[in-house]
Amino acid sequence: MTAPSTRSRVVVIGGGILGVSTATQLVRSGADVTLLTEGELASGASGRSLSWLNTAGLRSPEYHALRQLGIDRYRTLAAREDVSAFLRFDGGLTWAPEGESLAAVIEHERSIGYDALWVTAEDVADVTPGVDPNAIATEGGIFNPGEGWVDLPSLIAHLAEEFTARGGTLITGTGHAEVVVEDGRAVGALTPDGRRFDADAVLLATGPGVPAQVAEHGIAIEDGSPTALLVWTKPVATDLKAVLNTPNVAVRPTPTGALALDSAWSEEALIVADDGTVTVPDGIVERLLEEASRVLAGNPRLELDGLGIGGKPIPGDGEPVLGEIEDISGYFVAFTHSGATLGLIAGELLAREILTGEKSPLLDTFRPARFSAALV
């Protein structure tokens, strides 16, 4: 049996879903927690996430299992509290480009017990409203009724309210906080204005910033984070409830009656300068709005309300990076593409590991040490 941990003071760096979720779980267990954010809560990747709750498609069994648990925790939240304004389970609809097939995908999903229905264009109106059947590929598509979406800024605000009510200390606008490591241990965090926050353990959850920050301490985490674009429309009259993952655009509803949009092609079209400045080429946003209109029943005119541009956290091997750094005691990291789906379960598992020192087998394949081992 692992000896009980003496970590009672914890600093969490990062105001996105992984940082706030973990911080809230820590204070629920009685820890003394300080949460530091570079800007405001949800001002990074969590504030510009499509936030599709799913474990569709082909992925490792361990990753699928963790995502399933992530969805389970959202269902638990929805059963206990009225969060229907920002958390919905109305399914997800996916179809392939014309000439390609999702047959292998639905066969895989069914083989692992993931709820998946094959729908044709004629079926779709009976399965999920608000979709233009003319947009669906001749082959048809996959409807996953157990999927959903969450508005992460709303969820983060919801959790942060509990965090502070339970005595957690929230400090926003700190700028780039650094993890302080002394004698092979994480002992706190230092903000640019010279403030030091001592702790028994530190969680770094700064999205795409994690690999560069741990590299300052000689730790390698492969980084595949691209620069991404999320577009918000103005509120629009549509019956759409499900998340759509289509060849040219992904679409989800928002709490305000607007839509959130992204795509792989618009992400690839962004021009990123050497200094990190991002340019959105002319016509990209307009095309994304047009593509979204094409997949919606009635093809409504969509108007731009805002853009979210910045790094999308994706580890180099595509799998989550969660847990303690092997060579630095008390230094934990959370870095993953599926931050929305994993947000609640990752916070739960990380908080338990931080406070007890007991490693969860659910995170064994996702630990940061795998990258160091690959260099040997």
Residue 372's pLDDT is what?
Answer: 81
- 57-61, 114-118, 169-173, 236-240: which range is least confident on average? 57-61
At residue 1 the predicted structure's pLDDT band, cuts being 50, 70 and 90, is very low
Fold of 9-47+153-224+316-375: FAD/NAD(P)-binding domain (3.50.50)
Predicted confidence (pLDDT) at residue 2 exceeds the cutoff of 50: no
Average pLDDT taken over every residue of the chain: 95
Give 3-state DSSP helix, strand, coil % of the chain, rounded to 5.
Answer: 35, 25, 40
Superfamily of domain 92-145+226-311 in CATH is D-Amino Acid Oxidase, subunit A, domain 2 (3.30.9.10)
Contacts of 147 (CB under 8 A, 6+ apart): 52, 53, 54, 56, 71, 89, 91, 92, 242, 243
Domain boundaries, the chain: 9-47+153-224+316-375, 92-145+226-311
Q: What is the pLDDT of residue 276?
A: 87
Q: What is the pLDDT of residue 57?
A: 87
375 pLDDT higher than 80:
no
Mean predicted confidence (pLDDT) in 176-189: 97
Query: Left, alpha or beta for 130 (phi > 0: left; psi -120 to 50: alpha)?
Result: left
**Averaged pLDDT for residues 195-201:** 97
What would the mean pLDDT of 193-200 be, rounded to a whole number? 97
pLDDT digits (tens, 9 = 90+) for 207-229: 999 999 999 999 999 999 999 99
pLDDT of 373 reads 57
**Is the pLDDT confidence value at 202 over 50?**
yes
Provide the pLDDT for residue 141: 96
Q: pLDDT tens for residues 321-346?
A: 999 999 999 999 999 999 999 999 99
pLDDT of residue 135: 96
In degrees, rounded to 5, the angle at the alpha carbon of residue 104 between the alpha carbons of residues 101 and 106 is: 95
User: What's the confidence (pLDDT) of residue 9?
Assistant: 97
Compute the distance between CA of residue 52 and CA of residue 245 in angstroms, rounded to an integer. Answer: 9
Number of C-beta neighbours around residue 180 at 10 A: 18
Which letter does DSSP use for residue 101 in this model? -
> Across the strands, what pairs with 323?
333
pLDDT > 70: what percent of the chain?
97
pLDDT per position as a tens digit, 249-308: 999 999 999 999 999 999 999 999 998 899 999 999 999 999 999 999 999 999 999 999
- pLDDT score, position 174: 97
Determine how many CB atoms are found less than 10 A away from the CB of residue 281.
10
Helix (H) or strand (E) holding 204: strand 201-204
> What band does 3 get if pLDDT is binned at 50, 70 and 90?
very low
Local confidence band at 5 (pLDDT 50, 70, 90 cut-offs): low
| Each residue's pLDDT tens digit, 362-371 | 999 999 999 9
> Which pLDDT value is given to residue 58?
87
